[in-house]
Amino acid sequence: MGIFDKLSSIVGHKRDKTDTSLQGTPPPKKILITEDDKYLRDFYSEFLTSEGYSVATAENGQVGLQILMTQKPDIVMIDLMMPVMDGKTMLHKMREMPEFQKTPVIILTNAGDADNIRQTQLFENANEFLIKSNVTPDEILARIKTFI
Q: Where are the beta strands (DSSP E) in 1-148?
A: 30-34, 54-58, 75-78, 105-109, 128-131
CA 115 from centroid of its chain's CA atoms: 24
Per domain, the residue ranges of the chain are 24-147
Query: What band does 130 get if pLDDT is binned at 50, 70 and 90?
Result: confident
Contact 42, 69 (CB under 8 A): no
Q: Is the pLDDT of residue 144 over 70?
A: yes
One CATH from 3.30.390.30, 3.40.50.2300, 3.40.50.720, 3.40.50.150 for 24-147: 3.40.50.2300
pLDDT tens digits for 11-63? 344 334 445 455 678 899 999 999 999 999 999 999 999 999 999 999 999 99
Quote the pLDDT of residue 109.
84
pLDDT tens digits for 86-124? 998 999 999 999 999 999 999 998 865 656 565 655 556
Which residues pair with residue 46 across a beta bridge?
none
Query: What band does 5 get if pLDDT is binned at 50, 70 and 90?
Result: very low
Contact 73, 103 (CB under 8 A): yes
**pTM of the entire predicted model:** 0.78
Positive or negative, the CA dihedral 110, 113, 116, 120 is positive
Quote the pLDDT of residue 46.
97
Between the two ends of the chain, the Cα-to-Cα distance in Å is 34
Phi then psi dihedrals of residue 129, to 5 deg: -130, 110
Positive or negative, the CA dihedral 125, 61, 133, 111 is negative
